[in-house]
Amino acid sequence: MINPFSKLGISDDVVNAVKELGFENPTPIQEQSIPVLLEGSNDFVGLAQTGTGKTAAFGLPLLELIDFKSNKPQALILCPTRELCLQIANDIKNFSKNTPNAHVVAVYGGANIMQQLREIRNGVQVVVATPGRMLDIIGRKAIDFSNVKYVVLDEADEMLNMGFQEDINDILSTTPTDKKTWLFSATMPPEVRRIAKNYMENPVELTMGTKNTGNVNIEHEYYIVRARDKYAALKRIVDFNPEIFAVVFCKTKMDTQDVAEHLIKDGYNADSLHGDLSQQQRDKVMQRFRDRNMQLLIATDVAARGIDVNNVTHVINYSLPDEIESYTHRSGRTGRAGKTGVSICIINSKETGKIRQIERIIGKQFTKAELPTGFDVCEKQLFSLIHKVHNVEVNAEQIDQYIPRIMDEFAALSKEDIIKKFASLEFNRFLDYYSKAPDLNISADERERGERGERGERGSRGAVNADYTRLFINVGSVDEFTRGDLLGFVCNNGKISGKTVGKIDLKGVFSFIEVENASAEALLANFKDVQFNGRDVRIEVSGEASSSSSRGGGGDRRRSGFGGGERRSGGYGGGERRSGGERRSSGGGSGRREGGNSGGGFRDFSGRSREERSGGGRREGGSGDRRRRS
């Protein structure tokens, strides 16, 4: 049987390489664009979402059109972010692994330019670049684009959003006029149209799906809650989806940190991604997310650009984007590679108009969903646990030695009693938290009155009033700590609950951390002989007064084994992977998750060398290059 990629005109070397990657059949976008692009004689505009197989759609034809006997750059691919740049370069390297003398270079900001220059000097045919760094290299006269035959503008709308228009103009002006330009974009705002008009001649236009339409595999839901119940609503959604693996979008860096910190304190496996993190910190956070050692990634729009993690079950819009067009990019983080996903908006009653606007843009209707009751959550968690128990692999070799003692202990109990007890062990904990949980859905009546309800969820933010002690600790961002890391480090070594920790002020070589008075005492007593990278770590009461007022915890997941949110101390703390269970997202996402829910999600601070950890604290402004807007 002829391979479907061969049928499209792809040569054996490349077909064999994609086969090894598990590509059996072309995706719809590949099916449509490969034959057109292989002709090599047209400009091209492809309207396509991320995650649809776009990279191979242009990457495979490029490999057929390039003359690999020559070591001159013949294809230039421009994309908005460092992450996407690395991803595309890596994909094309994989596609060309059997192609003799194929050389691909990734050129992006925030990395050593000398290495990139060296690779260019050694000879490359495909250059994948972010605009800022590309221009830098052109400015150094370190690259010759006179043989470029194809320029790909990937995620063109994003590049323009990020203010790269001028850079793109400048770069394109250094390439031959008879080159072909292939533009891919998820949306087609007038600015992108203008590029197509200015730089292209009668481009072949293909729309994969309807124009501006969100991925068909994504369900869109919204929940209306009071503004102050947003956090409780987020937790309830997460608790109702025990296997959730989600990106949560916030508008500002502060919000991402705030939400992530509260989630971490409440025992969830979360961290934040925003532009203030150094590149190393960003990479670390992304790696944890990719490895499924983190369940909830709380991100700003800019920081999340180019996130290319498959199997994300949910995108949660904790706040709606200012620019409605960004919604398509946010929701496109789920439902990738043929999987299904759910994009959720948590809104207040005044924002329903925005939902209608988004519906018009994506050409799809939202479902107005009701937040589950506390009882619904308990039931869902209970059966998730039962399902896990049912499917757990028994390590007979290890457990058999204990079975006689366990049997003795249970001798007087019937099978039914034992099952009840096992189920209750965890069920009780969620029940404790949720038994008095209020209905967070806003009633039609309240909606009309404009959210004047006065209820708040037990344990939701701001409920406790405790005095805090401000502590000084001699580690900080130069040690590559994020606030989540520091919280884990302090709690693990000081043996205190993260719930008692207030504000964390991460500085360069030191940090301040506010802890409830009683816990601060315990922490100071326990925090003895702690070392980090061979250095003594000191924690002491700071001269400055505590600024924290109140920090309520929320449903403390650590108390619960449900959903794997339990934080462990010591050597277990490093986001250790467990074997995965079948994912059952509310959006029906399928496929196995490798890591399952990990314990704790904090780093293992033991035994990593200084080299591995050095260089933190450098402010490189995150992904992409120079011009980010927020």
Residues that bind ligand AMP (CB under 6 A): 22-23, 26-27, 30, 50-56, 308, 310, 336-337
If the CB atoms of residues 5 and 605 are measured against ligand AMP, the closer one turns out to be 5
CB 585 within 8 A of CB 316: no
If the CB atoms of residues 231 and 245 are measured against ligand AMP, the closer one turns out to be 245
Cα-Cα-Cα-Cα torsion 166, 167, 170, 174, nearest 10 degrees, comes to -150
Give the Cα-Cα-Cα angle 570, 571, 572 (nearest 5 degrees).
95
Residue 578 CB neighbour total at 10 angstroms: 14
Q: Is 443 helix (H, G, I), strand (E, B) or coil?
A: coil
* Per-residue b or e along 45-60, where b marks 16 or more CB atoms closer than 10 Å to that residue's CB: bbbbbbbbbbbbbbbb
Q: Please state the closest distance from residue 95 (CB atom) to ligand AMP, in A.
A: 10
d(CA 343, CA 346): 10
If the CB atoms of residues 30 and 597 are measured against ligand AMP, the closer one turns out to be 30
Q: Please state the closest distance from residue 612 (CB atom) to ligand AMP, in A.
A: 28
Q: Please state the closest distance from residue 262 (CB atom) to ligand AMP, in A.
A: 32
CB 76 within 8 A of CB 127: yes
If the CB atoms of residues 3 and 280 are measured against ligand AMP, the closer one turns out to be 3
DSSP state at residue 562: G
Q: Please state the closest distance from residue 92 (CB atom) to ligand AMP, in A.
A: 10
Q: Please state the closest distance from residue 487 (CB atom) to ligand AMP, in A.
A: 33
Indicate the burial class of 448 (C-beta count within 10 angstroms; 0-12, 13-18, 19 or more).
exposed
Residue 60: which residues within 8 A CB-CB, separation 6 or more?
5, 10, 14, 18, 30, 34, 95
If the CB atoms of residues 260 and 309 are measured against ligand AMP, the closer one turns out to be 309
d(CA 273, CA 267): 18
Instruction: Give the residue from 49, 33, 37, 48 showing the smallest Cα distance to 75.
Output: 37
Instruction: Give the residue from 391, 353, 429, 438 showing the smallest Cα distance to 579.
Output: 391
Q: Please state the closest distance from residue 592 (CB atom) to ligand AMP, in A.
A: 15
If the CB atoms of residues 3 and 147 are measured against ligand AMP, the closer one turns out to be 3
d(CA 8, CA 504): 56
Place of tokens 């009882």: 375
d(CA 152, CA 43): 10
If the CB atoms of residues 27 and 497 are measured against ligand AMP, the closer one turns out to be 27
Q: Please state the closest distance from residue 340 (CB atom) to ligand AMP, in A.
A: 14
Strands (E), 519-617: 531-532, 535-536, 539-541
Q: Please state the closest distance from residue 312 (CB atom) to ligand AMP, in A.
A: 12
Indicate the burial class of 394 (C-beta count within 10 angstroms; 0-12, 13-18, 19 or more).
exposed
If the CB atoms of residues 26 and 600 are measured against ligand AMP, the closer one turns out to be 26
If the CB atoms of residues 310 and 517 are measured against ligand AMP, the closer one turns out to be 310
Q: Please state the closest distance from residue 291 (CB atom) to ligand AMP, in A.
A: 15
Q: Please state the closest distance from residue 339 (CB atom) to ligand AMP, in A.
A: 9
CB 128 within 8 A of CB 55: no
DSSP-assigned letters across all residues of 83-106: HHHHHHHHHHHHHTTTSTT--EEE
Strands (E), 275-375: 296-299, 314-317, 341-347, 367-368
Q: Please state the closest distance from residue 334 (CB atom) to ligand AMP, in A.
A: 12
Q: Specify the pairing of strand 204-207 against strand 341-347.
A: unpaired
Distance of CA 140 to the CA centre of its chain: 35
If the CB atoms of residues 28 and 456 are measured against ligand AMP, the closer one turns out to be 28
If the CB atoms of residues 259 and 307 are measured against ligand AMP, the closer one turns out to be 307
If the CB atoms of residues 253 and 336 are measured against ligand AMP, the closer one turns out to be 336
d(CA 530, CA 489): 10
Q: Please state the closest distance from residue 94 (CB atom) to ligand AMP, in A.
A: 9
If the CB atoms of residues 163 and 591 are measured against ligand AMP, the closer one turns out to be 591
d(CA 587, CA 341): 5
Q: Please state the closest distance from residue 190 (CB atom) to ligand AMP, in A.
A: 25
